[in-house]
Structure 1
């Protein structure tokens, strides 16, 4: 996966180096990059140029070792003691392809010439000081022929050449990826001949050649081999020497990574600088190598390539995994902070609060979460049975991916866990194992209040509704006044009022609750909390007042109006547009009696307790918090008769007298829009 990217990076770097050298040595590069001699044709080869030359060309044209012998159809070249056909020249890759002229491919038993030099003794460089070619630079494989006085039985690499063998002369061929050396021969064998072949080294070739027969090796020999160009330009300038070596290195790099062998690609990636240095040092114009400028340029290029590769490897194999590791460590650290905060709190809470259960206990008492009671915004609720005793409980499983990060869990346990009041649901226990958290409440068999007040048929009498409203008020007042710290619920609504077996109301769901000193009249909150439709105006804008216990009073007032009307306060499907927003409509009906001196037909049919619930609700939903009563004052109004209650001031949404429902909806829709953008917790889904 990494080879294409490495190839493009290395190629781009080397191309940039060539561009830089053009700018640095522009003064030195005064020639056109060739020897000044025109291209020529030789046999089937066209446009032949440096380093090749023909017999009779001027001495300045080409290199003597690359002199071609041309006929009408073929081009030949002398290499050491052999003559070879030049089948093709590749100037881009800086190599030419040759085939042994004396290797008779038409013979049924061909053998290379015995007098071919097996090896010049020079480890590097195309020509040695005597002008001999270094066969080690021709190709990657050589076929070595040997003549033995007896049969070779202990070396599987020796492949018999039956057609050349006799009774006391056994001819063998073996394949070498270095060169044919006398040290590789068996003691009773002598060197016979050698010929190179093959285009590219690969481990697959090595494996195949180890099993190849003489006939198969002969077929490979007939395909010839490639010979590299010399590594210096004829003009001998520093620029041309470097340019040729860079092009040669790029070709080498492309050739190595073009295959599917990962080892070859890796070797090319890390060995390209060494290949470049070898190219420079192997240049026939070695007198330039001692020049300070060439040494400086070579050092700069090699350093640039090496540094680029160092940073590539550093980023790819060190920094990238390190970044992933740091990210995972950070996520783990954040998770551990949440878990540790919950555990620290629970160790303190365990001394004074409800029972802590293991997760296996939760699974057991819910019978593997078999009986689901409902689904809320923070998780699912299941019915369970406590043993011994068989008491029923409601188990709320908090979602593990909650955005509150354990805050809602701590808030609920810290508030409800220390409360004991008949109108507040009791927390029996809890579970906290890593990110699995559960709250165990006393079971409320009649569910939540919203199922009854919004039903088509009236489920409760007005006396029972007033009793339920008073019980809710007592529970909220206890939260505000009955504890060492005042507890603000911030989410009073019908869905969070539960009814026990005797329809006694109990305030539940303290996920948004906060505790503050009782003397504080101002509660700092960074974000709005609650459910759209029950949120106090000051939770949205501080221009309506400060956040305090009066915020719960507003939510309770909206609840009272829904209990009295038997419907939700905002109902776009109401019979008439004037009845769409119930608080506005009921205020108009109640004030019509006093202003016109006549009794509204609606008011005439309204039950006394219904009227009281509406009046108390309108007091509670005054837009400015200072105009609302406290919960203790609300309790007094609910316990008093309806005749003793005065009408409150006209709420903000009806300041202009009778307001059309469209205007009311316009205001409430703006309020709802702000709420939806700012609220931390939106209304829980209906069961």
Structure 2
């Protein structure tokens, strides 16, 4: 062996020897029933060198922490490389206990956690649904006998909890919502066995408390040699797949002991001078594509993580067939274009083709995460979607009567709706928003309620649509974090502009609904500079004075019995558009007022345009819109807020 071979052998073997020595120094830790915590795991209290995946020891339990939850470690098998976990909300001796951290299962891909979220293995899924009425179906395993024992003070909520085994989206009834879910390592057998009454909830609960197994990477014992491009060579115990150059350039991986020095040098020279150039070119193309595919990866991760609950996925070629190659265009907006299509079943659909400029595909994800999982008669139904890189589409039920704005602002006789129908539509919209706020396990804030986003089916049943700005928050979050103003000028709540009056909450949707309801009652835009009298420019202030003074609000084509309905809608709208968020009623109270007798509704205070103690900036005041009478004297920022016409923020 000559000096060059000795040098090469030293360079190759030294990292492996060092790594092996380091592995021999690693100890074993214990916590509770887990006595074999060792590499690649370590307790958080141990030295960092002892492992790459952190576990906590809390109250004699070994715990894996995620961003949104914690899981007890039941066992670690270093032979099969499996870790067994169970949700910390589940208790073996209490069958009324439920999983706490259902949505944390989507976050196993975090850097501090070892679990691959898309690995299915032998895992099954147990879903607990909450139904508004009883279900008589063997597939729906009632949780009643267990749950009622611990929740007897509020049994109405838990009468209709059911467990579903490995459900598809179509298995969940329209009147049921997902309440909790968890993975389990249990083979349930075929559909016939599940539907054969062989399961009861006590057995289901035992299966949940047995937890689920997930894989972790194999121990680092072998020495790998990896080549990357011209000069990049890596020696170590981690495989090339775990190395930072993993990708098109990782063209060769070998366990060191399989190569002799001569063949290694020959191979390295071939790689360097013959294959290097095209691989570097490939690498540059790969890096370029990765920068431009960040949005696609973000969406694909979301789709894989939520695969159990998504609607139908269509290919782009199917979308073209359904729309007849996009021949019937229904409309266009900032989000993209909408086309009419027909499914093979003959059902008509509306297909929204999304534009690509929205950062990281957030509009697409927002719509999929909200209406993709909920069902309500007054919320538009998402039938399916398409995602093929830059080609993204959402498939909805077709609303033959279009959007509400075409009916309340029209002068065309055939589109004119009587006030009875307008009142019924307002009730439906209120029910849809109330369901978003309180009917799901997470509150959904829409942030863009306006006539354009209320669609009408063939029976004029209203559907809340366009969830591109929507956000989900826990039910107990009365104030939510919003980094920027959201919505359309003219319908946006004033707290987006005046932070001093209160934080952002579901009351922002209440304000937008109030502005919508006022326009429905008046059959006109709230701000209209072309009216006969300047006092009517801002309709809510003018109509408040009319109603408060006992005068009739003169409307075209209104019969006497409709005046009471109009007045009730106006008073409810005035409550909804109060300046201070806490002065506005929640949507369930709004519904009560709309459905109740007008004699039981008090007249609210006159709506303010801006906080009375807000200092007025002289420079802003000079820019104030001339369309307002001098008596209003609103600051410019609120003038813009009122005068805006369908300008999305």
Normalized against structure 1, the TM-score is what? 0.48
611 and 330 in structure 1: CA distance in 2 versus 1, 3 angstrom threshold: farther
The answer to whether the Cα contact below 8 Å between 2:311 and 2:384 also exists between their aligned partners in 1 is: yes
- Tell me whether 1:467 sits opposite 2:432 in the alignment: no
668 and 618 in structure 1: CA distance in 2 versus 1, 3 angstrom threshold? farther
| Bigger Rg, structure 1 or 2 | 1
- Give CA-to-partner distance per residue, 1:509-546, whole Å, 9 cap, x none: 00000000001001101101100000001122221211
Distance 2:634 2:288 in 1: 43
Cα displacement (A) at 1:653: 2.6
> In the TM superposition, what is the alpha-carbon distance from 1:331 to its structure 2 partner?
5.6
Which deviations, in whole Å up to 9, do the C-alpha atoms of 1:379-429 show, x marking residues without a partner? 000001111x111000000012x2333001000011000111000000000
Q: Give the corresponding residue for 2:208.
A: none
Encode CA deviations 1:305-335: one digit per residue, 9 max, x unaligned: xxxxxxxxxxxxxxxxxxx999987663333
**1:555 maps to which residue?**
512
Q: Specify whether residues 431 and 586 from structure 1 end up closer, same or farther in structure 2 by C-alpha distance, changes over 3 A only.
A: same
- SS, match of residue 569 in structure 1: coil
* CA distance in structure 1 between the aligned counterparts of 2:452 and 2:483, rounded to whole angstroms: 25
Deviation at 1:600, TM superposition (A): 5.6
Measure, in 2, the Cα distance between the counterparts of 1:674 and 1:534: 8
| Aligned counterparts of 1:341 and 1:672: Cα–Cα separation in 2 | 38
1:456 pairs with one of 411, 422, 444: 411
Instruction: Report the equivalent of 1:366.
Output: 323
Aligned to 1:421: 376
Task: Report what 1:611 is aligned to.
Answer: 567
- The answer to which structure has the higher helix fraction is 1
Distance 1:674 1:493, change over 3 A: closer
For the aligned residues, what is the CA RMSD?
Answer: 3.0
Indicate if the aligned counterparts of 2:299 and 2:360 stay in contact, CA closer than 8 A: no
| Pairwise CA distance, 1:641 | 1.8
Task: Give distance in 2, aligned partners of 1:330 and 1:470.
Answer: 53
What SS is found at the alignment partner of 2:609?
Answer: helix
- Cα distance in structure 2, aligned partners of 1:672 and 1:578: 15
Give the match's secondary structure for 1:384.
strand
**Alpha-carbon offset, residue 376 of structure 1:** 1.3
Q: SS at 1:472's partner residue?
A: helix
2: CA distance, partners of 1:342 / 1:541: 34
TM superposition shift of 1:584: 0.8
Match of 1:433 in 2: 388
Q: Is the Cα–Cα contact under 8 Å of residues 589 and 602 in structure 1 kept in the other structure? A: no
CA distance in 2, matches of 1:601, 1:535: 26
Distance 1:348 1:493 in 2: 32
Distance 1:325 1:564, change over 3 A: farther
- Superposition map of 1:403-422 within 5 A: 403-422=358-377
Paired position in structure 2 for 1:501:
458
Question: Counterparts in 2 of 1:92-241, with a 5 A limit?
Answer: none
Matching of residue 480 in structure 1 with residue 437 in structure 2? yes
Which of 638, 642, 645 in structure 2 is aligned with 1:671?
638
Q: Distance in 2 between matches of 1:668 and 1:569?
A: 18
Offset at residue 581 of structure 1 (A): 0.6
How far 1:351 sits from its partner (Å)?
1.5
**CA distance in structure 2 between the aligned counterparts of 1:674 and 1:502, rounded to whole angstroms:** 34
Local SS of the residue matching 1:662: coil
> Conserved in 1, the CA contact under 8 Å of 2:579 and 2:611?
no
SS at match of 1:480: helix
Q: 1:573 to 1:354 in 2, by over 3 A?
A: same
Cα distance, 1:671–1:524 mapped onto 2, change above 3 Å: same
Whole-Å Cα distance in 2 between the matches of residues 454 and 675 of structure 1? Answer: 18
**Kindly tell me: are residues 390 and 618 of structure 1, through their superposed partners in 2, closer, same or farther at Cα, counting changes over 3 Å?**
same
How far off is 1:683 after superposition?
A: 3.5
Equivalent of 2:521, from 553, 559, 564? 564
Q: Determine the C-alpha separation between the residues in 1 that align with 2:309 and 2:428.
A: 26
With over 3 angstroms needed to count, the CA separation of the structure-2 counterparts of 1:534 and 1:662, relative to structure 1, is same
Distance in 2 (alpha carbons) for counterparts of 1:463 and 1:568: 20
CA distance in 2, matches of 1:437, 1:423: 25
Contact 1:540-1:675 at 8 Å conserved across structures: no
Between the aligned partners of 2:549 and 2:627, the Cα distance in structure 1 is 16
C-alpha distance in 1, partners of 2:479/2:464? 23
SS in 1 for 2:449: coil
Structure 1 residues 530, 330: CA separation in 2 closer, same or farther (over 3 Å shift)? Answer: farther
Closer, same or farther: CA 446–660 of 1 in aligned 2, 3 Å:
closer
Contact kept in structure 2, 1:584 and 1:653, CA below 8 Å: no
Corresponding residue number in structure 2 for 1:636: 592
Q: 1:328 to 1:535 in 2, by over 3 A?
A: farther
- 1:473 CA drift (Å): 0.3
Unaligned runs of 5+ in 1: 1-323, 594-598
1:120-169 Cα deviation digits (max 9, x unpaired)? xxxxxxxxxxxxxxxxxxxxxxxxxxxxxxxxxxxxxxxxxxxxxxxxxx
Secondary structure class of the residue paired with 1:486: strand
Q: Show structure 2 runs of 5+ residues with no match.
A: 1-280, 613-625
- In 2, Cα distance between the equivalents of 1:629 and 1:646? 13
Distance in 2 separating the partners of 1:668 and 1:384: 47
Contact 1:532 1:675 in 2 (8 A): yes
The Cα offsets for residues 33-73 of structure 1, whole Å up to 9 and x where unpaired, read as xxxxxxxxxxxxxxxxxxxxxxxxxxxxxxxxxxxxxxxxx
Partner of 1:351: 308
Deviations 1:243-266 (A, max 9, x none): xxxxxxxxxxxxxxxxxxxxxxxx
What TM-score results when the alignment is normalised by the length of structure 2? 0.51
CA distance in 1, matches of 2:299, 2:313: 12
In the alignment, is the contact (CA less than 8 A) between 1:676 and 1:682 conserved in 2?
no
Q: Which residue is 2:582 aligned to?
A: 626
Q: Deviations over 1:270-325 (max 9, x none)?
A: xxxxxxxxxxxxxxxxxxxxxxxxxxxxxxxxxxxxxxxxxxxxxxxxxxxxxx99
Partner of 1:272: none
> Does structure 1 residue 540 correspond to structure 2 residue 492?
no
CA deviations 1:212-269 (Å, max 9, x no partner) are xxxxxxxxxxxxxxxxxxxxxxxxxxxxxxxxxxxxxxxxxxxxxxxxxxxxxxxxxx
